[in-house]
Amino acid sequence: MAHDENERRNEKWKKVLMHVVGERVMRFPSLGWETMWKVGSEDPRRVIHAFKVGLSLTLVSLLYLLEPVYDGIGQSAIWAVMTVVVVLEFTAGATLCKGLNRGLGTLLAGALAFLISYVGKTSGRVFQAVFIGASIFLIGAVATYVRFIPYIKKNYDYGVVIFLLTFNLITVSSYRVESVLKMAHDRIYAIAIGCAVCLLMSILIFPNWSGEDLHNSTVYKLEGLAKSIEACVNEYFYGEIEATGDIKSPEDPIYKGYKAVLDSKSTDEILALHASWEPRHSRYCHRFPCHQYVKVGAIIRQFGYTVVALHGCLRTEIQTPRSVRALFKDPCIRLAAEVSKVLIELSNSIRNRRHCSPEILSDHLHEALQDLNTAIKSQPRLFLGPKHRHNKIATAQVGQERHGKALGFSISSVKTDSSALLDWKTKQSKETERKSLRTQLSKIAITSLEFSEALPFAAFASLLVETVAKLDLVIDEIEELGRLACFKEFRPGDEVVVTCEEPRVDVLQNHLTSHGVA
Amino acid sequence: MAHDENERRNEKWKKVLMHVVGERVMRFPSLGWETMWKVGSEDPRRVIHAFKVGLSLTLVSLLYLLEPVYDGIGQSAIWAVMTVVVVLEFTAGATLCKGLNRGLGTLLAGALAFLISYVGKTSGRVFQAVFIGASIFLIGAVATYVRFIPYIKKNYDYGVVIFLLTFNLITVSSYRVESVLKMAHDRIYAIAIGCAVCLLMSILIFPNWSGEDLHNSTVYKLEGLAKSIEACVNEYFYGEIEATGDIKSPEDPIYKGYKAVLDSKSTDEILALHASWEPRHSRYCHRFPCHQYVKVGAIIRQFGYTVVALHGCLRTEIQTPRSVRALFKDPCIRLAAEVSKVLIELSNSIRNRRHCSPEILSDHLHEALQDLNTAIKSQPRLFLGPKHRHNKIATAQVGQERHGKALGFSISSVKTDSSALLDWKTKQSKETERKSLRTQLSKIAITSLEFSEALPFAAFASLLVETVAKLDLVIDEIEELGRLACFKEFRPGDEVVVTCEEPRVDVLQNHLTSHGVA
């Protein structure tokens, strides 16, 4: 009986397992297909790039497959294939950077290896082996060490790796092969063909420019910030009041707006580095001002930190009650709208490669600041500490009420500080509940403070004013950019703009890591 | 005469040129030496790593140089050299990650290539060439496309590149070489030897662990933030008042403290990725919680943004006069010191791998908050708008004085808004001076606002209180980290700590970019 039951149970388990595995297997193709589709629809250039790589590989394979060509180049054709796999990158700038690094590294390594094999061959076989071993050790250690120097690391890291690789291959081979020169010659020839195919493919057929990507990402970042600020102020006045800590959902429109800005440093720098290798692609200007784009990126990031702090005001533990907020709603929303308008105008000016409007810091912005000022001045009592009539949200928890000490105002905080602390201390019975209690303590400590109503709003308003100040720096850098990149002059009709919602492309996702040697 | 003069001028130019070039050449070695020395002294592990690479290269070269070994392996020994150049990385985790990726990619590619060459050989020569060409195109396009999928890109990018490369090499060779299996076998053998040398070198001889680097960088980031907050509050109360915009000098101790935190996202993620490949290196815990370190890093970055906003208060256009600041000096400095103490305690707890003190959010912090509260409550008048007696700095520019409208307080702003605007508008004569004037307008617009004294300090105080709230989240994540990483329990004696000033190592600089294929 027991045996039967065991068997039945096993059977059942097997069925369940089959079912689960079957479902997984069935789901896998659709999931895979969805992912593939998403990757392609996010940026169709990826599909084109994939076809370009396939085409280039087939082209260099012909060197090997076609009889007459093979007779000319021979075994070395394999190096052309390697070069294509390794050098062909998503953007023209990256391909050029890698191709030239590879060329330079190979040539230098070839020259040095030839010198060393020449010196080595003057003596006996054993001395040659020792000499080659020693030089491999020395060059290997020095080249690796040099890669840590920041300047080399930034600009020529790939070149040094290729140098090290080629040097080792040729030096080691020279011990067994008679005609090193012939070998090096063939190899360089094949690599040159590979590089040529890559350059033609990346520059002539549907080229992607790092400079363009950098330009577009700057535009998108400015737009994102504009949306963030508006969304932030709207949520502050219309959204629900909650102190949920700092858990940012990726769907939050505020977070989405500034997310790309915060971590843009490395992307910007890589794009600028690659863009600096690209030939000019504008008729008007002789150089692409990639460093200025990096500077603009840095100042936008600074602006972004202020927006993060503004966002933080929404999630802070102490909240200004809605009734108080309502008093300043209109001027704040107006100010945010003006700041946002300036950011959109800046992003449009960059998008259309024209200087920004001379009236970009308009009287409207000034008036909005004035309005906020007037609104704050007209409510001086709020900045004296919480008052009973505003404390609607807090009153739910009010335990006792006491009267202001120094000034005679009626003050009702959530709990008085000493009683809250006492409450907490009596609760502190178990060591294991340490964490939740500690959190509670800090919450009580903060929310029981009596500047709780005045301060958070003051911080919010101050940060909003701060964005206006930072806006100045952003405008300065963008005007400098316009000067360096020879943007066209502003004409009065230009300011009528339609902000087109282009799909947001994450340029970092396109930057395939630069593996690749040989 | 003219000819003579020309010649003399040329001569002079040549001399100057020679001198300049000579000086450059003379300076170059000393500059190079300095750079090399700096790179080594910043982190001596770099020197060791360079020697390790040299040694490994020499070891695998022996495969080629020693007669008996060469007879066994032959030409394929070259692949072992390539593998070492490409796979040996600074940390054990990175080496393991690349080595395993390489192995996996090679094996898969070998299997697929063998299948394709087998199918191709069943038909005629021409069909075989077409079949090989088509499969190279298809596999090349698909593999490149797959690299754009975020999950693959993050974990297996290198493996896919190696797969593509090996597949192409074997498939193309199969057209000319008879014994593909022999070739593939030799090559895999050589690559295995190369990988083995790399793994031995990186795990057994002076290993550098990514996990350790991640751990240490977390410690340093917390310390940096602690220093930043203290320096920031000290400068706010003792430093000079200046509104120089946002130009951050790299020597600024406040900036230095939080700089590493802001751009730490990519470093953290790379280190965590590599650490996840490392074998456990602790006796106590079965897995290194690298994801929790990334989470801690994210929450520390959030904290950092608040510190940036705090720093922004020092550089803002509107400044609270020193006389006003002095009123709140002691409680603010005390609160900052308490926050900083908590951060130092957290960093020490991570450094020593122990849980943090249960009294980490001590009564001191609570008292400091209370003090600040009391101080603000005792000065209610400040939050009503600027008053004459505090306006010492501004009075230098005071043009006229007028009396408060609604409240009867004497108000003297820098200039009244309308007159300032009028002044500016008469100045607006030349279009070319647009920029400086615009800047001026925005400055006037902001500094002439009458909430100028109340608001900036309120923001400063509020942000300071906000750091306390954020501290909670940091402590939560670090306690979770302590739990996952099996930190040892806190013992009462542990809190007496000496914060030792270790040299700050920029771990990102050690992460050599992962080029490398073949």
Q: At what angle do helices B417-427 and B434-447 cross, to 10 degrees?
A: 170
Average pLDDT over residues B203-216: 87
CB contact under 8 A, A512 and B47: no
Average pLDDT over residues B162-166: 90
* H or E element in which residue A411 lies: strand A410-411
Highest mean pLDDT, choosing among A153-167, A284-298, B284-298: A153-167
Look at residue B1 in the predicted model and tell me its pLDDT: 53
Q: Single out the residue of B101, B204, B100 nearest to residue B160, CA to CA.
A: B101
What span, in angstroms and rounded, lies between the C-alpha atoms of B383 and A455?
10
Look at residue A441 in the predicted model and tell me its pLDDT: 46
Portion of chain B with pLDDT greater than 70, in percent:
74
Residue A147: CB partners within 8 Å, gap ≥ 6? A153, A157, A160, A161, B512
B285, A341 contact by CB (below 8 A): no
Query: Tokens representing B445?
Result: 């617009």
Look at residue A507 in the predicted model and tell me its pLDDT: 55
Q: Single out the residue of A77, B16, B470 nearest to residue B8, CA to CA.
A: B16
B486, B284 contact by CB (below 8 A): yes
Average pLDDT over residues A351-366: 76
Q: Single out the residue of A296, A258, A290 nearest to residue A271, CA to CA.
A: A290
**Comparing A350-359, A390-399, A430-439, B259-268, which segment has the lowest mean pLDDT?**
A390-399
- A357: confidence class by pLDDT, cuts 50, 70, 90: confident
Q: Which residues of B touch A407 (CB under 8 A)?
A: 377, 380
CA nearest to B304 within chain A? A305
Q: Which of B47, B148, B306 sits opposite A145 (nearest CB)?
A: B47
Residue of B59, B144, B177 best to disrupt the A interface, most CBs of A under 10 A: B144
CB contact under 8 A, A449 and B456: no
Give the 3-state DSSP-derived string for B316-365, with helices as H, strands as E and coil as C.
Answer: CCCCCCHHHHHHCHHHHHHHHHHHHHHHHHHHHHHHCCECCCCCCCCHHH
CA distance B14 to chain A (A): 30
Task: Give the residue, B121 or B361, on which the prediction is more confident.
Answer: B121
Q: What is the mean pLDDT of chain B?
A: 74
Residue of B152, B258, B317, B383 best to disrupt the A interface, most CBs of A under 10 A: B383
Task: Give the residue, A3 or B177, on which the prediction is more confident.
Answer: B177
Q: Are strands A402-403 and B402-403 parallel, antiparallel or unpaired?
A: unpaired
Task: Give B341-357 pLDDT, tens digit per residue.
Answer: 888 888 888 888 888 77
Look at residue A512 in the predicted model and tell me its pLDDT: 52
What span, in angstroms and rounded, lies between the C-alpha atoms of B96 and B83?
13
Residue B137 has pLDDT above 90, yes or no: yes
- A155: confidence class by pLDDT, cuts 50, 70, 90: confident
Look at residue A310 in the predicted model and tell me its pLDDT: 86
If phi > 0 it is left, if psi is from -120 to 50 it is alpha, else beta; for residue B310 that is: alpha
CA distance A13 to chain B (A): 30
Which amino acid, residue A10? N
B458, B383 contact by CB (below 8 A): yes
- B394: confidence class by pLDDT, cuts 50, 70, 90: very low
CB contact under 8 A, B164 and A47: no
Highest mean pLDDT, choosing among A441-445, B70-74, B159-163, B389-393: B159-163
Task: Give the residue, A467 or A139, on which the prediction is more confident.
Answer: A139
CA nearest to B166 within chain A? A82
Helix (H, G, I), strand (E, B) or coil at B508: helix
- A413: confidence class by pLDDT, cuts 50, 70, 90: very low
Residue of A55, A98, A172 best to disrupt the B interface, most CBs of B under 10 A: A172
Q: What is the DSSP secondary structure assignment for residue A432, as one 8-state letter?
A: G
CA nearest to A50 within chain B? B141
Q: Which of B57, B148, B358 sits opposite A509 (nearest CB)?
A: B148
Look at residue B141 in the predicted model and tell me its pLDDT: 92
CA distance B384 to chain A (A): 5
CB contact under 8 A, A136 and B57: yes
* H or E element in which residue A402 lies: strand A402-403
- A44: confidence class by pLDDT, cuts 50, 70, 90: confident
Task: Give the residue, A436 or A222, on which the prediction is more confident.
Answer: A222
What span, in angstroms and rounded, lies between the C-alpha atoms of B324 and B394?
13
Portion of chain A with pLDDT greater than 70, in percent:
73
Of the CA atoms within 13 Å of residue B108, those in its CB half-sphere come to: 15
Distance (Å) of CA B162 to CA A57, A62, B101, B444:
14, 21, 8, 61
Look at residue B160 in the predicted model and tell me its pLDDT: 92
**DSSP character string of B86-128:** HH--SSHHHHHHHHHHHHHHHHHHHHHHHHHHHHHHTS-HHHH
Residue A325 has pLDDT above 50, yes or no: yes
Q: Single out the residue of A132, A127, A208, A60 nearest to residue A512, CA to CA.
A: A208
Quickly list H helices, A74-91: 77-87
CA distance A470 to chain B (A): 8
What span, in angstroms and rounded, lies between the C-alpha atoms of B311 and B394?
22
- B138: confidence class by pLDDT, cuts 50, 70, 90: very high
Look at residue B397 in the predicted model and tell me its pLDDT: 32
Average pLDDT over residues A335-341: 88
Beta strands in B387-432 (DSSP E): 402-403, 410-411
Portion of chain A with pLDDT greater than 90, in percent:
8
What span, in angstroms and rounded, lies between the C-alpha atoms of A400 and A387?
14
CB contact under 8 A, B518 and A82: yes
Task: Give the residue, A293 or B411, on which the prediction is more confident.
Answer: A293
CB contact under 8 A, A61 and B450: no
Q: Which residues of B touch A49 (CB under 8 A)?
A: 144
Look at residue B401 in the predicted model and tell me its pLDDT: 31
Query: Tokens representing B318?
Result: 């509107």
Look at residue A473 in the predicted model and tell me its pLDDT: 83
Q: Which residues of B touch A125 (CB under 8 A)?
A: none
Q: Which residues of B touch A266 (CB under 8 A)?
A: 263, 266
Cα Dmax for chain B: 103
CB contact under 8 A, B377 and A144: no
Look at residue B73 in the predicted model and tell me its pLDDT: 73
Look at residue B297 in the predicted model and tell me its pLDDT: 92
Task: Provide the number of CB pairs (under 8 Å) joining chain A to chain B.
Answer: 391
In which residue are the tokens 């003006």 written?
A338
Q: Single out the residue of A54, A56, A73 nearest to residue A200, CA to CA.
A: A56
CA distance B500 to chain A (A): 27
Residue B155 has pLDDT above 80, yes or no: yes
Let me know if B253 is exposed, middle or buried by CB neighbors in 10 A (0-12, 13-18, 19+). Answer: middle
CA nearest to A420 within chain B? B366
Of the CA atoms within 13 Å of residue A41, those in its CB half-sphere come to: 6
Helix (H, G, I), strand (E, B) or coil at A505: coil
Distance (Å) of CA A458 to CA A240, A377, B127, B209:
19, 12, 78, 47
CA distance B517 to chain A (A): 4
Residue B119 has pLDDT above 60, yes or no: yes
Look at residue A249 in the predicted model and tell me its pLDDT: 57
A230, B227 contact by CB (below 8 A): no
Helix (H, G, I), strand (E, B) or coil at A38: helix
Residue of B466, B478, B481, B508 best to disrupt the A interface, most CBs of A under 10 A: B466
Look at residue A414 in the predicted model and tell me its pLDDT: 29
CA nearest to A474 within chain B? B246
CA distance B10 to chain A (A): 31
Residue A501 has pLDDT above 60, yes or no: no
Q: What is the mean pLDDT of chain A?
A: 74
CA distance B38 to chain A (A): 9
CA distance A505 to chain B (A): 13
Residue B282 has pLDDT above 80, yes or no: no
What span, in angstroms and rounded, lies between the C-alpha atoms of A402 and A211?
65
Average pLDDT over residues B174-203: 83
Cα Dmax for chain A: 103
Look at residue A492 in the predicted model and tell me its pLDDT: 66
Q: What is the DSSP secondary structure assignment for residue A277, as one 8-state letter?
A: T
Look at residue B163 in the predicted model and tell me its pLDDT: 92
Look at residue A495 in the predicted model and tell me its pLDDT: 53
Look at residue A400 in the predicted model and tell me its pLDDT: 30
Quickly list H helices, B43-91: 45-65, 67-73, 77-87
B80, B190 contact by CB (below 8 A): yes
Q: Write b or e for each residue in B475-513: b if 16 or more Cβ atoms lie within 10 A of its Cβ, otherwise e.
A: bbbbbebbebbebeebeeebeeeeeeeeeeeebbbbbbe
CB contact under 8 A, A158 and B129: no
CA distance B8 to chain A (A): 36
Task: Give B502-515 pLDDT, tens digit per residue.
Answer: 444 455 556 555 44
CB contact under 8 A, A148 and B46: yes
Q: What is the DSSP secondary structure assignment for residue B487, as one 8-state letter?
A: P
Residue of A138, A373, A450, A462 best to disrupt the B interface, most CBs of B under 10 A: A462
Q: Which of B165, B263, B515 sits opposite A157 (nearest CB)?
A: B515
- B316: confidence class by pLDDT, cuts 50, 70, 90: low
What span, in angstroms and rounded, lies between the C-alpha atoms of B242 and A150?
34
Q: Which residues of A touch B308 (CB under 8 A)?
A: 305, 308-309
CB contact under 8 A, A172 and B471: no
In which residue are the tokens 């923001």 written?
B459
